[in-house]
A and B are shown apart, each in its own frame.
Chain A
Amino acid sequence: MRVLALESRLRGDARQAERLLRDAIEHADLAGSQRRAAQARLSLVPVLADLGRLPDALAAARAARPALHGVELGQLETQRALALSRAGRYAEALRDYDRALRLLRPGGDAEWTCRVLSNRAAVLGYLGHYPAARRDLQVAHQLATDNRLDIYAFRTKHNLGFVELRSGDLPAALRSFAAAEQWLPAGSVEASSLLDVAEAYLTGRLVHEAREKLEEAIEALAAGGFAVDVPEAEVLLARLHLLDKDPDAAARVATGAAAQFRQQRRPGWTSLAHHLALHARVDRGEADRGLLDQLRRSAGQLRRRGWAHAAVHSHVLAGDLARRLGHTRIARTELDRASHARQRGPIAVRAPAWYATALRRLVDDDVGGALRAARAGLRAVDEFAATLGATDLRVRASGWGEDLATLGVQLTKRAGDAWHYLTWVERWRANALRRPPVRPPHDGRLAADLAHLRRVTAELAASSARGVVSPKLAAEQVRLERAIRDRSRIASGPGGQGTSTTLDRGELQAQLGDRALVELTEYDGALVAVTVVAGRCRLHELCTLTEATAEMDALRFALHRLARRHGSRASLAAAEAGVAHAAGRLDTLLLGPLLPYIGDREVVLTPTGALHALPWSALPNLRDRPLSVAPSATMWLSAARGTRRRARRRGAVVLAGPGLEHAPREARMVARHYQRARQFTGRRATVSAALGALDRADVAHIAAHGTFRSDNPQFSALDLADGPVTVYDLEHLEVAPRRLVLSSCDTALSAVHAGDELQGVAAAFFALGTTTLVASVTPVADDETHAVMTRFHRLLAAGSPPGQALADAGTSTGTLGFVCFGVG
């Protein structure tokens, strides 16, 4: 019966397991077998812990103890320790694990030794003793593989991932989680390990993926009767909502989880859930003495119950609130307590600890010191980003610096010094693009998946053109995209300090020459422009971001209809009117206040947020003007200096993708303008031919279907003869073409993450060394594009700089979607 009960527990039915074990105890008692009853109680301890009934679990352990000794007593200590660690009573749990190891080793029970070491490592990880935790897990994993104990081989690898995550190494954690999976029987799910993966995704700020994992975990837990773990999943869900800036949802989920933990008598977890509920209230804008007192109590409780990281957060929240409410003394104490955590551990703790340091200095009116602390915190964020290999993780990493950057921007804005403000904005703008690109590892599986995805996507496109969609192929596409996405994220970055540089005023002015820099920034929901013209740096208050975004959306909508020639003649006329109206409004809102200063100068423009998708040349005051758009002034400067990725380049490359009537002709036209241009059209324009030819090309022109994938910008693509070339493929280029024209729809669109971090086809080329990129932020008509490109290349060949050539070509053909990025 005890064996049956163990089976039930393994299958995940805790309630059934309890019933069976209670029966076993009763039978053993009736038969007068104390040892049998104690053995059943030993098995009952983890079952009760799973059900969230800690006092009952401890009582069962107490009742079993007198009848057990040696290895079996060691097993009992192990189960008791597990129950204790679940309740957050880590010190007691560690003592029990030590006793258990002494009792177990003489018997040489590999399985139980694995279990103890693996569980002890988890506790050591919680407490921040990472090297000791890693040692336990390495020993246990070896023991498990030597003894063919697959489930322990899985758990030890998985727990290693958990420890790596706590220590701050996200890719190492993801690698361990992936390596663990091979030890699981195919198709099986371990709910508690899904929670660890979800937590890793939260560190990577991958909100969408974390939500998927949590939903999967909650489903598995509920189905298995593991009531105890459901609120643990909800704790992560509450953190997810906080990250996702949805404090209402966070408050709801955290409050519910706290109530369940309280019912389960798990004070450790109760205080964690309660802390998240308080955090949500702060984020909702509540600010009163009552909340402050609760936060301080919560911080103390968290510290005592072993939640060191959450305690730091609570101290920061309390300190900041005390500061805002004017309770200076409390603010100092709380912020001092949080500041200690700034040197090591995960970025999710280090960044807030630096923020606390900055606020602490503000309390003493030390603005300079606060700014230095904020800078140091952003360096910690840079260091974290430098540990990451995958682009989609790196672009999100900047999000950890949001509070620090916002503080710096606020302080400098208040001081009113435009240049100082600009350097702060630049400090946190598009940092990921400035870091040296991380080459994906030469990974056979990744390469095979990418090739397979290309075939599947090409087949799907061909079949949907015939009006049929194969659900099997579509499912295969989703599966492959996930595999590629997950696989790419295990790559480590170069590490080190990152590349934070301070914008040099003299150099910027020298490179700008007669050009005007217009940097758009968001400040508290409003747009603020900084201009640098002829040595003068000025601040300009513009409209709200919402106002500008609404007009931009209307403009893009109208341009979309015109590009597709969608609708009747009257409808197209209305679209034309829509373009004129929206472009005029945007011109007034965004450029009006600047015109007296920028005059008719050539403009270098750095957009912000949603405005990265604005077709700038539609604005009347920009239409005929040479314009270059850049992710940041710092990026533009390094491109203009020509110091980025100096490399030997070779010639011109021209490519035409399939399915476009005018593309082959356009390719031939472009090729005529360059000596010995390599030309790939028709079936020769394959992905591998393209990647080979684009590498180190001096100039390249690609006429092809382009797609922007808002759901996952890494799969944004250009269509070639044998399928799409995605951002993942492009990242294999050693050196991207110096000057590049993407004669396609939408290829200049980017996903914009916190810190104006850009992700998409254009951003990938920039990160890989392209200095000038002409591409479109809107859909463009095939025939019109051919016309504008013919004109553009003719002007370019005649010696016109790209920004000027594009402005002239756009004016004469009326095509507005193309933008010149980088150095015009």
Chain B
Amino acid sequence: MSGEEAVLARLGSAFDAVDPVPLAAYEAAVAGLALRDVDAELAELAADSVLADSGVRTRPATGPRLLTFTAGELSIEVEVADDGARRRLLGQLVPPQPAEIDVHWDGGASTVTTDQLGRFSVVSVPAGLVSMVCQLTDPARRVATSWVSI
């Protein structure tokens, strides 16, 4: 993460504490930063289970959260679960395909590879903003998700 992004992330958490900005507006603004990776297409947040009427037998906003990012016909499905103060991400690329995924957060990153079903998992991600950059191989393509707060 560049200096600017770090500053923005910190500013973000300051606002979170003092005067929280509506989540969607916040994420849209931060998403702009991902465009700095000029080679990468942006996968925007298309669905968030916290904001959806669930139709399941649990209160909204409890338990793991489901996010969907889309770029054209590609979607990246992600589940975010609490693991103490950290987060665990499980994901799947649809359509399923091999990819290398860099998960970026404030002050760190981790690289994972998908399995034959396009599934991946990342443990011990600090709470805060994250973005995933997927390097697809067939055809070669870079797709970066917008930054979201987890």
Residues of A within 8 A of B (CB): 208, 461, 464-465, 550, 553-554, 557-558, 560-561, 563-568, 570-571, 574-575, 577-578, 581, 659-660, 703-711, 719, 743-746, 779-783, 785
Contacts and interface: CB of A to CB of B under 8 A. Distances in A.
B140 interface: no
Given A557-B92, A564-B55, A779 B63 contact: yes
Contacts of A561: 66, 77, 79
B36 interface: no
A390 to B, nearest CB: 21
Nearest to A704: B57
20 contacts: A550-B121, A553-B121, A554-B121, A557-B92, A558-B92, A564-B52, A567-B68, A568-B75, A571-B75, A574-B118, A575-B77, A575-B92, A578-B92, A578-B119, A707-B59, A744-B58, A746-B63, A781-B56, A782-B55, A782-B56
A33 B92 CA distance: 83
Contact of A568 (B66, B94, B118): B94
Contacts of A461: 59
B11 to A, nearest CB: 20
B63 A708 contact: yes
B57 A705 contact: yes
Contacts, number: 109
A564 B92 CA distance: 16
Contacts of B113: none
B109 interface: no
Contacts of B84: 208
Given A553-B90, A746-B63, A567 B77 contact: yes
B117 A780 contact: no
B128 interface: no
B81 to A, nearest CB: 8
List 8 tightest A-B contacts by C-beta distance, closest first: A745-B58, A557-B90, A745-B57, A574-B94, A707-B62, A571-B94, A744-B57, A779-B56
Contact of A578 (B47, B52, B117): B117
A578 B49 CA distance: 19
Interface of B: 47, 49, 52, 54-64, 66, 68, 73, 75, 77, 79, 82, 84, 90, 92, 94-96, 117-119, 121
A564 B94 contact: no
B69 to A, nearest CB: 11
Contact of B57 (A464, A565, A660, A711): A660
B57 A564 contact: no
B96 A706 contact: no
Interface hub of B57, B63, B79, B121 (most chain A Cβ within 10 A): B57
A111 to B, nearest CB: 44
Contacts of A567: 47, 66, 68, 75, 77, 94
Given A566-B49, A566-B52, A744-B58, 10 more contacts: A208-B84, A561-B77, A574-B118, A575-B92, A660-B57, A705-B59, A707-B63, A719-B59, A745-B63, A779-B57
Interface hub of A557, A746, A780 (most chain B Cβ within 10 A): A557
A613 to B, nearest CB: 11
Contacts of A745: 56-58, 63
Contact of A574 (B63, B90, B117, B121): B117
A712 to B, nearest CB: 12
Given A553-B90, A557-B90, A578-B117, A571 B59 contact: no
Contacts of B59: 461, 659, 705, 707, 719
Contacts of B75: 567-568, 570-571
A578 B96 CA distance: 10
B49 A564 contact: yes
A557 B79 contact: yes
Nearest to B89: A557
Given A567-B68, A707-B63, A574 B57 contact: no
B94 A705 contact: no
A710 B87 CA distance: 12
A786 to B, nearest CB: 10
B57 A554 contact: no
B91 to A, nearest CB: 8
A560 B96 CA distance: 18
A455 to B, nearest CB: 16
Contact of B117 (A208, A581, A709, A779): A581
A519 to B, nearest CB: 28
Nearest to A550: B121
Contacts of B77: 561, 566-567, 571, 574-575
B58 A577 contact: no
Nearest to B83: A710
Contacts of B95: 570, 574
Contacts of B62: 707, 709
A779 B60 contact: no
Contacts of A785: 57
Nearest to B78: A557
A783 B59 CA distance: 16
Nearest to A776: B57
A460 B62 CA distance: 12
Contacts of B121: 550, 553-554
A547 to B, nearest CB: 13
A656 B96 CA distance: 40
A566 B121 CA distance: 19
Contacts of B92: 557-558, 571, 574-575, 578
B94 to A, nearest CB: 5
A744 B54 CA distance: 13
A743 B58 CA distance: 11
B61 to A, nearest CB: 6
Nearest to B96: A574
B136 to A, nearest CB: 15
A703 B56 CA distance: 12
B22 to A, nearest CB: 9
Contacts of A558: 92
Given A461-B59, A570-B95, A560 B64 contact: yes
B55 A781 contact: yes
A783 B96 contact: no
A754 B96 CA distance: 37
A417 to B, nearest CB: 37
Nearest to B79: A557
A705 B60 CA distance: 10
Contacts of A659: 59
Interface hub of A567, A578, A706 (most chain B Cβ within 10 A): A567
Contacts of B79: 557, 560-561
B117 to A, nearest CB: 6
A743 B57 contact: yes
B94 A465 contact: no
B58 A779 contact: yes
A577 B117 contact: yes
Contacts of B82: 710-711
A659 B80 CA distance: 24
Contacts of B49: 564, 566
A139 B129 CA distance: 57
Interface hub of A574, A710, A783 (most chain B Cβ within 10 A): A574
Nearest to A471: B20
Contacts of A581: 117
A570 B118 CA distance: 13
Given A464-B60, A783-B55, A570 B94 contact: yes
Contacts of B118: 574
A456 to B, nearest CB: 14
Contacts of A570: 73, 75, 94-95
A654 to B, nearest CB: 16
A457 to B, nearest CB: 9
A702 to B, nearest CB: 10
B122 to A, nearest CB: 12
A705 B66 contact: no
A746 B68 contact: no
Contacts of A707: 58-59, 62-63
A111 B72 CA distance: 78
A660 B56 CA distance: 8
Contacts of A744: 57-58
